[in-house]
Chains A and B, each alone.
Chain A
Amino acid sequence: MSFSVRATGALAACAVLATVSLAGCGGDGAAKGGGSAAIKVGLITKTETNPFFVKMKEGAVAAAKAEGAELTTAAGKFDGDNAGQITAIENMVAAGVKGILITPSDSKAIVPALQKARSAGVMVIALDSPTEPQDATDALFATDNLKAGELIGQYAKAAMAGKPAKIATLDLAPGVAVGRLRHDGFLKGYGITEGDPSVVCSQDTGGDQAKGQTAMENCLQKAPDVNVVYTINEPAALGAYTALKAKGREKDVLIVSVDGGCTGTKAVQSGQIAATSQQYPLKMAEQGVKAVVAHAKGGAKASGYTDTGVTLITDKPAGGVEAKDTAFGLQNCWG
């Protein structure tokens, strides 16, 4: 029996030593020069794995290196993990960061935690999407999602050239600002309002390719004559394309999307998607890190909304809507 006790203790000790050495490896790069001088910046994304946030992190790492700042990163376990983001904020404040860059998973629920961080003297910048209310953060560096939607709406209107439209919208999820803004922007760009009879089908996809495919399949059951498909992002667009192809409809349906990921941009190049509005996560993070460093060095706090830009990408320009080709898109894509 005493053997097993000893074995337990020994194994546990081994466990800790193993993990400690692991942690040591991981810590080397990030903690270098972390004695006192380096300005600490925190980046909290929704998840670790989404290519959009991977690119965002890349931009933050590059900017932190250039500015001589020390970057720490964290993320929720899943899209919508509010509690995980709160924990990350608390730990970063405890670690003494000067500023936190965050893509809020839940625009409302994160607000109390951000208020605590700000009252502890930490500057908070929302990246990619705003909090509700927007002034719960010092500043917002993001894509104008309404404009992103408008661009593809205008493009679709021009590309249809007066043909009567039967529109399917493959949306994000109820109550998420990004999805609502892009959807509303698309309708605005197309020159219609919510409830217009030309919108024949609307389904949520969570921005997921498999769910996008299912949604499109169902839309085609409901309205086989769909000829315009708005999608919240390119994974949903590619899912829609697969569903259309199965019905032999891929040539005569116009798919438009938002995001500008590399896979999505390639799909524009190959003609699966007609046009997409490209956004720039790298820039959001880069500018965010710079703003924190500037503030820490005695500059003013960043404030208000900074538009990090959006560009319509297509190889088939239509009706005077300003656009860049996929060569430009591929140079600037993420993922």
Chain B
Amino acid sequence: MTMTVTAPSPEASVSEPPLGRRLLSTPTVGPLAALLLACVFFSFNSEQFLSGGNFSLIIQQVMVVGTLAIGQTLIILTAGIDLSNGAIMAFGGILMARLAVDGTVPPLVAIALGLLVCAAFGAVNGLLVTAIPLPPFIVTLGMLNIAFALTHIYSQDQTVTGLPRELTFLGETFRVGGTSVTYGSAVTIALFLFFTYLLGQTAWGRHVYALGNSPEVARLTGIRTTRLTVGVYTVAGLVYGIAALLLVSRTGVGDPQAGQTDNLDSITAVVLGGTSLFGGRGLVIGTLVGALIVGVFRNGLQLMGVPSIYQTLITGVLVILAVTVDQISRRRNR
């Protein structure tokens, strides 16, 4: 219904105020339908699929990439992209693990330092994107290599084991009805709700959308675009730090090899969630749906006994379809 309200002003294309509400209906409807249909399909094809325990498992499995994808969503909304998030997370994780295990600092301080360093990586990305300026693709490609190398240098390629409880606590469970849920899953859901609020209900969120739609218009309307961009990348970096803690709690170790394909997986979640790669359109809650689509297919196919390579195949098909939908709806908007 909100659609018809914006229809009379076609020249305003996508940056009208009712945009926020329009987004709620458009880009997430398709992904949500896809997710539900997939769930129905797997329920009919696997006895084990439809259970609280299994859904809890799927959320645990997507929480790391899902959290990375929150940061990725913020950056893609500004028409940027982040290829370095998996590598930044890996560095944050190994830093937390080593500092805590070596006993150099108390575990909680190790976590705080890990979060700070991840945020700093994000800030450097943001500064390079705005100050010089360089394309986000190139900046984050470089940062991917830098963070990857630092991870391996700092860890000496050793997996860190014997983590203190502070680092693995989020992997422990509490009960909701008859189902065990990890604290990490709860943190992930809380993050999604928080960023949904931040983007949808605050001026900062509106500015992010405006920046993605047209940086020039955003600047002329008085938004301090440089500061905003650096802020977005820094917040994304902080979110990657949280993902690092979630990862460490899930695997129970500090793993220098972690996160190598997570940059692409996080982009997949964002795209499947209906957020436009061209910026300015999308919802962070859609990203959760996108991450869940991948998780549901991986879990469901495994329960059916289908080799995991089919999951990759299907993910590829879905990504292309999702972008096709985005393009078609863009053309109609014009």
* Given A82-B258, A83-B64, A91-B302, residue A12 in contact with residue B34 (CB < 8 A): yes
Nearest A residue to B158, CB-CB: A175
What are 23 pairs between A and B in contact, CB < 8 Å? A1-B4, A5-B29, A9-B29, A12-B31, A12-B321, A14-B321, A16-B34, A20-B41, A22-B310, A22-B314, A31-B304, A48-B308, A74-B307, A78-B261, A82-B258, A87-B298, A90-B57, A91-B303, A94-B54, A95-B302, A95-B305, A105-B257, A106-B257
In this complex, the interface size class of chain A, counting residues with CB under 8 Å from chain B, is 35 or more
* Given A1-B3, A15-B321, residue A8 in contact with residue B30 (CB < 8 A): yes
In this complex, the interface size class of chain B, counting residues with CB under 8 Å from chain A, is 35 or more
Given contacts A7-B332, A22-B313, A175-B158, 20 further A-B contacts (CB under 8 A): A1-B7, A9-B29, A12-B325, A20-B37, A23-B41, A23-B301, A27-B305, A31-B304, A48-B308, A74-B307, A82-B257, A82-B258, A87-B298, A90-B60, A91-B61, A91-B302, A106-B159, A109-B251, A174-B157, A175-B157
CB proximity to B under 8 Å, residues A21-74: 22-23, 26-27, 30-31, 34, 40, 48, 70-74
B333 at the A interface (CB under 8 A)? yes
* Given A82-B255, A112-B252, residue A9 in contact with residue B30 (CB < 8 A): yes
B179 at the A interface (CB under 8 A)? no
Nearest B residue to A91, CB-CB: B302
* Given A11-B324, A95-B305, residue A19 in contact with residue B297 (CB < 8 A): yes
A109 in contact with B159 (CB, 8 Å): yes
Q: Among A9, A15, A74, A78, which residue has its beta carbon within 8 angstroms of that of B302? A: A74
* Given A8-B26, A30-B305, A173-B157, residue A82 in contact with residue B34 (CB < 8 A): no
B309 in contact with A91 (CB, 8 Å): no
Chain A residues in 8 Å Cβ range of B317: 15, 18-19, 22
Chain A residues in 8 Å Cβ range of B333: 4
A95 in contact with B303 (CB, 8 Å): yes
Chain B residues in 8 Å Cβ range of A20: 37-38, 41
B260 at the A interface (CB under 8 A)? yes
Chain A residues in 8 Å Cβ range of B321: 11-12, 14-15
Chain B residues with a Cβ under 8 A of chain A: 3-4, 6-7, 25-27, 29-31, 33-34, 37-38, 41, 45-46, 48, 53-54, 57, 60-61, 64, 156-159, 161, 247, 250-253, 255, 257-261, 297-310, 312-314, 317-318, 321-322, 324-325, 328-329, 332-333
Nearest A residue to B253, CB-CB: A109
- How many angstroms between the C-alpha atoms of A113 and B251 in the bound complex? 7
Nearest B residue to A92, CB-CB: B302
Q: Among A1, A23, A86, which residue has its beta carbon within 8 angstroms of that of B6? A: A1
B308 in contact with A108 (CB, 8 Å): no
- How many angstroms between the C-alpha atoms of A225 and B255 in the bound complex? 39
A12 in contact with B33 (CB, 8 Å): yes
A331 at the B interface (CB under 8 A)? no
**Which of B3, B7, B324, B333 is the most central at the interface, judged by chain A CB atoms within 10 Å of its CB?**
B3
A317 at the B interface (CB under 8 A)? no
Chain A residues in 8 Å Cβ range of B305: 27, 30-31, 34, 40, 70-72, 95
A95 in contact with B48 (CB, 8 Å): yes
Chain A residues in 8 Å Cβ range of B297: 19, 23
Give the shortest distance, in Å, between B285 (CB) and chain A (any CB). Answer: 16
